[in-house]
Amino acid sequence: MAYERKFKIGEPILEVNNISLAFGGVKAITDTSFNVLEHEVRAIIGPNGAGKSSMLNCINGIYKPQQGTVSFRGKEIPNITPNIMAQMGLSRTFQNLALFKRMSVLDNILVGRKLHTKTSFIEVALQLPKVKKEEKVNRDRSEEIISFLEIEDIKDTPVGKLPYGLQKKVELGRALATDSSIILLDEPMAGMNVEEKRDMCRFILKVNDELGTTMVLIEHDMGVVMDISDRVVVLDYGKVIGDGTPDEIMANQKVIDAYLGVEH
């Protein structure tokens, strides 16, 4: 890359080792391993039904794989739950949007500050000075994220009333509010127009560049993937068929076959 990165790509932060996941007789993922390096933008691509979202759900602890392990910063995590992963510093967005629909944009992003909120409900009920201080810190950080994502004008709107593209932005904002060291993005640009996609790319790269947040994203738009990611892993039928830099992936015969189909 031409420019100098503030955060040099470092050691593996997340390692997926020999994961296999099946729903009854249907094998979603078979013996898959790959890693994610600190501060990099890592893309997971593959045709529909390749097991990409299932992979993220395994990393995040929503699905329990029958085999294999997930390691975070070199340490194997035995009982993964979404909550434990959140506490380790892993945040995510969802493919079909999982926002809190009846809450405002600001409140949605404030929920992302949960792990930075230490006061108990009794303290909140009594509105002790401690609570006010903490609330102010969290609100300031949320406002910062809102202005970063350029959504100031909608911050008091209930999220359910927003168009799809903006909802995706809010979801990214909520993930950012956690101040996680790694963020999993499940199709952050699905259903967006070219302009919205360009905006989203800019945000992802800016976060990665300024905060050094490691990004793992699933995306279908090959142009985008090849543009913004440092390394790409390709899944097909639940197996890794290619892993490397965008240039390597584009030259990989197996990947080309998976996408274009082969004559039998």
Partner 1 sequence: MKPVFMTYTKKDLINLAVCMVLSVLIIPTFIKTEYWYTSILIPWLCLALATIGQQIVMGYTGQLALGAAGFMAAGAFAMFNLILRVPELGFIGSLAVSGLIAAAFGILFGLPSLKVRGIYLMVATLASQFFIIWMIDKFGWFKNYDSSGIITAQDIVILGKPFTTPLAMYFVCLAVTAVLTLLAMNMARGSTGRNWMAVRDMDIAAESMGVSLLKTKVQAFAISAFYCGVAGALFAFCYLKSLEPVAFDIKLSFKILFMCILGGLGTINGAFIGAAFILLFPVLLNSVGNNVFHGAIDATIISSIEQVIFGLLMIIFMIYEPLGMAKLWENLKQKFGSKLTSSNIKNLKSSLSKKF
Strands 90-92, 182-186: pairing is parallel
DSSP H stretches of helix in 103-193: 105-111, 121-126, 129-148, 164-177
Our finding on whether 50 is near partner 1 (CB under 8 A) is no
Strands 231-236, 75-76: pairing is unpaired
Binding residue (CB under 8 A) for partner 1 from 111, 205, 222, 256: 111
Site string for partner 1, 217-256 (x = CB under 8 A): ----------------------------------------
**End-to-end CA, the chain:** 39
Our finding on whether 60 is near partner 1 (CB under 8 A) is yes
Cα dihedral 194, 195, 200, 202 sign: positive
Grouping H, G, I as helix, E, B as strand and the rest as coil, residue 195 is helix
Our finding on whether 137 is near partner 1 (CB under 8 A) is no
Span from 34-42, 91-99, 237-245, 247-255 in contact with partner 1 (CB under 8 A): 91-99
* 133 contacts 115 by C-beta, under 8 angstroms: no
Our finding on whether 92 is near partner 1 (CB under 8 A) is yes
Binding residue (CB under 8 A) for partner 1 from 119, 165, 179, 221: 119
Scanning the structure block, which residue is given the tokens 């609570």? 131
Binding residue (CB under 8 A) for partner 1 from 6, 101, 198, 202: 101
Largest CA distance in the chain: 71
Cβ 103 to partner 1 shortest distance, Å = 5
Our finding on whether 178 is near partner 1 (CB under 8 A) is yes
E strand or H helix at 253: helix 253-260
Our finding on whether 130 is near partner 1 (CB under 8 A) is no
Residues that bind partner 1 (CB under 8 A): 60, 62, 81-83, 85-87, 91-92, 94, 98-103, 107, 110-115, 117, 119, 121, 124-127, 131-132, 134-135, 138, 174, 178
